[in-house]
Amino acid sequence: MTKPWIWGVNLSILMVLLLALGTIYSLTRGAETTLLNCSSELYEPDDDGKARQYLLVDLVTKGKKAQIHYRYFNLDGSLAGSISMEGELTASPGSGNRYRIAIHNKEEKGGKNSAPRPMHMNYISYVSGLNLSSTGLHQLELEILELDKTRDYAIVLFQPSNTVCGCRLIH
Amino acid sequence: MQLGECWFDDARGELVNRASGDVWHLPRAELQVLRLLCAAAGKVVSKAELRQGDDEHQPLSDSSVARAVFMLRSFIGPGSELLIETVKGQGYMLRLSPQERRSNLHGPRRFGQRVSLVPVWLLSFAMLLAIAGGVYYAWRVAELAPSAPYRVDTLTQADGQMVRLVLYAHSRSNNTLLVEKAAMIGSVLAECRSSRWRDVYLSLSHDSRVLNLTLRGEYLGQAVVRNLKLSDGREPRDFISAEGLREVDICD
């Protein structure tokens, strides 16, 4: 066997090893679970300084799967509505601290007694519905603007809605 | 026989540089060495063969052979070291054309010669990887760059505490509403005698229907965060008045 062939075989083995390492890394890395919990007070015009509802947003990623739950509560604790979205994590944070999630389906539930839905819920419902009906996917991006690991909280920028939100992190 | 730019006249024992016109009547050692090399062109001639004597002449010494090769190379000029090649540990070889270098070498090739192409191959591979890595890095740098705020203001509260007001906009233009609301929120925060907030983030949704206000600070060594989402579907949008902000206890 000539020398170039030997080197060819050596490099092929090296490539296979690197591929195997990459696969193992992606599989183990993909198994990480992340939970992001964001709590917000919702205000609408003429609320006279009193929050009308509360919103809890939970983001859960496990491997490549991602779920986002928007849960709206009235002041008495009753459910005012919810939107649950499921999708895939297309990019997880590297050095850029960005998650990209492609939502492919969602489920919406209203509150009891046919009370009007929160305006914020209408907004989320409208934007996600528009994208899902036109392209079949609702692309979301979460960027960690500021992270305090010792206190497990982060300031997160949601796109394309351009929403900044302070959230709790649970790993 | 043509040797680079020189012509070797074996019968006369002369080497003629056709470019300069110089003629060198070769001394015995140079003539013997050149004759033997020409006779075995493309093959390695050992030093022992080059040293050999005959009925009229004594054998040459090693230094005479080395000196003869040096003198021949000097006369032939640039490229002569490739024409009369030193084969380490074996002798010398007259190479007529570059292609003959590999095909006419006798015996097993030396390790250094055999692997001489491998580093070039590896180097090319490494360069390709480096170029691909560079292109990928350049592409990712732009993608991974953190989103820059539209504006960062600092305000001072009544108790002298500094609060950062950070604005995030969907685009770099047409942010009048965001800036107006930031000014109003800033003025209300500045009225606070004291507050736990150190950073205040303000963002307006892409369709300008939701104003997001996030307050971040510390209380008893713990991180505290408060998020307010102010929706308004009216035109013009107001979201919340200064009075409304005071009502929601923005200082707490």
pLDDT tens-digit readout, A103-131: 999 999 988 777 788 989 998 999 999 99
Q: What is the enclosing helix (H) or strand (E) of B50?
A: helix B47-51
Secondary structure (3-state) at B29: helix
Please tell me if residue A161 touches chain B, with a CB cutoff of 8 Å. Answer: yes
Query: Does the distance separating the beta carbons of A3 and B210 come in below 8 Å?
Result: no
Q: How far apart are CA B16 and CA B207, in angstroms?
A: 89
Residue B163 Cα to chain centre, angstroms: 44
Rounded to a whole number of angstroms, the distance from the CA of A123 to the nearest CA of chain B is 8
Measured CA angle at B229 (ends B220, A157), to 5 deg: 80
User: Which of B73, B56, B112 shows the shortest CA–CA distance to B89?
Assistant: B112
Closest Cβ opposite residue B231 in set A39, A119, A161: A119
Segments of chain B with pLDDT less than 70: 79-81, 97-118, 141-144
Using only the alpha carbons of chain B, give its radius of gyration.
44
Q: What is the pLDDT of residues A46-57, one digit of tens each?
A: 766 666 789 999
User: Tokens 């600092």 identify what position?
Assistant: B154
- Report how far apart, in Å, the C-alpha atoms of B152 and of each of A97, B121, B134, B165, B216 are: 21, 53, 33, 6, 15
**B223 → closest Cβ in A40, A118, A153:** A153
So what's the pLDDT on residue B108? 46
Q: Where are the domains of chain B?
A: 2-117, 151-247
CA A153/CA A169 separation, integer angstroms: 5
Nearest to A161 among B145, B147, B206 (CB): B206
Cβ distance A160 to B222 less than 8 Å, yes or no, reads: no
Q: Of A117, A110, A130, whose CA–CA distance to A44 is shortest?
A: A117
The residue of chain B nearest to residue A160, with distances taken between CA atoms, is: B206
Q: Which helix (H) or strand (E) holds A91?
A: strand A79-91
Q: What is the C-alpha separation between B183 and B188, in angstroms, rounded?
A: 9
Per-residue pLDDT of chain A (171 residues; tens, 9 = 90+): 556 778 888 888 899 999 999 888 776 665 567 788 999 999 988 766 666 789 999 999 888 899 999 999 998 888 999 999 999 988 766 656 888 899 999 999 988 777 788 989 998 999 999 999 999 999 999 998 988 888 888 999 998 899 999 999 876
User: Nearest chain A Cα to B234, which residue?
Assistant: A45
CATH classification for the domain delimited by B2-117, as one of 1.10.645.10, 1.10.3720.10, 3.40.50.2000, 1.10.10.10? 1.10.10.10
Find all residues with CB under 8 Å of A140, minimum gap 6, and list them.
A68, A87, A99, A100, A101, A102, A103, A158, A159, A160
Best residue in B143, B144, B166, B205 to probe A by mutation, most A CBs within 10 Å? B205
> Residue A110 carries which DSSP code?
E
Check residue B202 and give its pLDDT.
Answer: 95
Q: Give the predicted TM-score (pTM) of the model.
A: 0.61
Bridge partners of residue B25, in order along the sequence: B14
